[in-house]
Amino acid sequence: MGHNAGMAVAPTISTASPRAVRIPRRWLLRVGVGLVILLVGAEALRVFAGTNRHTVVPGRVFRCSQPAGKHVLELVDQRGIRTVINLRGLAQDPTGADARWYLAEATATHDRNVSQEDITFSANRLPPPGELRRLIEVLDKTEYPILLHCKQGADRTGLASAVVRLLQTDSTLDEARRELWPTRGHFWFGRTRAMDDFFDRYAAWLAAEGTEHTPDRFRIWATKIYTPGAAASELTWLDLPTAPVPAGKPFAVRLRAINRSTEVWELKPGNLAAIHLSFTVASEADGLVYRGQAGLFRATVPPGGEIVFTCAIPGIEKPGRYVLLAEMTDARGAGVPLRCASFVQYGDRAAMGDVIVK
């Protein structure tokens, strides 16, 4: 047996510094991306699957997505809401399946003796001047607190909320535009970019005037100067037939269009390429009989300028009274006919006339 037999061996203690545990950089990156996705997902869920409720002006103006009838009652009780501003417009058939939301909302506001104002905005188009003026009039005269909403509470509601801040607070233009941030459900791309375009136009006007935003300047611009892009015209028939048109015989009618907008009209060949004139012929008995277009050629019409279109109409076989309706159309970047925007959608006026076929 060796001399160390039965003797305890003392443990060896290392004096070297412990080695730091290294986490691979790629794992840190993955964790960071995962957290961002989690936060964005949670916010998106709250915005798009929830009520998207926010305060615009404390104690005075609130916003949300389309509230169910019970949510209207809840907000009236909790916030003391006295006016609900619906930015989706008046439902054409309040009893239809697609308009149940409207009936529920109207019933709830009626039950609570709360005012309901219906204003028609689109998330995909600049606001019509008439509807914008109506919004401002309601904001001026209605009873507060108010609740603003559209469908998702993101785009149209964001625009209206920014208008409130520009008119009623000391917010700068940039601060007011935060009502159109992703945290409210709005994104600066796609067709809803029109909401941002509206405020870009105001900013451009301020720059051209060499001045800064004030509530009074925004009011002047929004109610007296703003036009929705090129969508402002004055249409006049020049030679509507005063005598009956022979059945089956083609005929043409000329129309003068004056550019009442602040932008140049660019006309080009192709019905999905640029600004042009659309017209229809219809009768009470048969409905739509013919649909045509004019102005599919190259021309430029400056603000205040005018152009004459010729509406060529094929022979109408059936005798009777027909209505000829013409309206300017903006097809720039439309790609498909459904995306062509009539100037009438922006509050412009169409031209209407009668034709007798005998």
Q: Which helix (H) or strand (E) holds 130?
A: helix 129-141
More confident residue, 261 or 40: 261
Written as one string, the DSSP assignment of 271-289 is TTTSEEEEEEEEETTTEEE
pLDDT at residue 191, rounded to an integer: 84
**Domains detected in the chain:** 54-225 (3.90.190.10), 233-357 (2.60.40.10)
Residue 1 has pLDDT above 60, yes or no: no
CA angle 132, 348, 64 (to 5 degrees): 30
pLDDT at residue 37, rounded to an integer: 41
Q: Which helix (H) or strand (E) holds 258?
A: strand 251-259
User: In which band, very low, low, confident or very high, does the pLDDT at 270 lie, cut at 50, 70 and 90?
Assistant: confident
Question: How far apart, in whole angstroms, are the C-alpha atoms of residue 12 and residue 205?
Answer: 81
> 75, 45 in Cβ contact below 8 A?
no
Question: How far apart, in whole angstroms, are the C-alpha atoms of residue 333 and residue 268?
Answer: 12
Q: Which helix (H) or strand (E) holds 161?
A: helix 156-168
Question: How far apart, in whole angstroms, are the C-alpha atoms of residue 264 and residue 219?
Answer: 25
Residue 136 has pLDDT above 60, yes or no: yes
User: In which band, very low, low, confident or very high, does the pLDDT at 42 lie, cut at 50, 70 and 90?
Assistant: very low
Name the residue among 221, 219, 188 with its Cα closest to residue 207: 221
pLDDT tens digits for range 111-121? 999 999 999 99
Q: Looking at residues 334-358, what average pLDDT do you find? A: 83
pLDDT > 90: percent of the chain: 72
Residue 98 has pLDDT above 80, yes or no: no
Tokens 């009236």 belong to residue: 76
- Listed ranges 94-98, 191-195, 255-259; the one with the highest mean pLDDT: 255-259
pLDDT tens digits for range 147-185? 999 999 999 999 999 999 999 999 999 999 999 999 999
pLDDT > 70: percent of the chain: 83
pLDDT tens digits for range 324-341? 999 999 987 655 555 678
Lowest-confidence region among 23-27, 194-198, 226-230, 305-309: 23-27
More confident residue, 103 or 210: 210
Instruction: For the chain, report the end-to-end CA distance as a whole number of angstroms.
Output: 135
Q: Looking at residues 61-79, what average pLDDT do you find? A: 92
Kindly report the backbone phi and psi dihedral angles of residue 245, in degrees, each rounded to the nearest multiple of 5, phi listed first: -90, 130
Residue 204 has pLDDT above 60, yes or no: yes
pLDDT tens digits for range 4-13? 444 444 555 4
Kindly report the backbone phi and psi dihedral angles of residue 12, in degrees, each rounded to the nearest multiple of 5, phi listed first: -85, 125
Q: Which amino acid is at 69?
A: G
Q: Which amino acid is at 128?
A: P
Please give the mean pLDDT across all residues of the chain: 87
Sheet holding 233-237, edge to edge: 233-237, 251-259, 306-313
Question: How far apart, in whole angstroms, are the C-alpha atoms of residue 293 and residue 337?
Answer: 12
pLDDT at residue 299, rounded to an integer: 96
Whether a cis peptide bond, with omega within 30° of 0, leads into 94 is: no
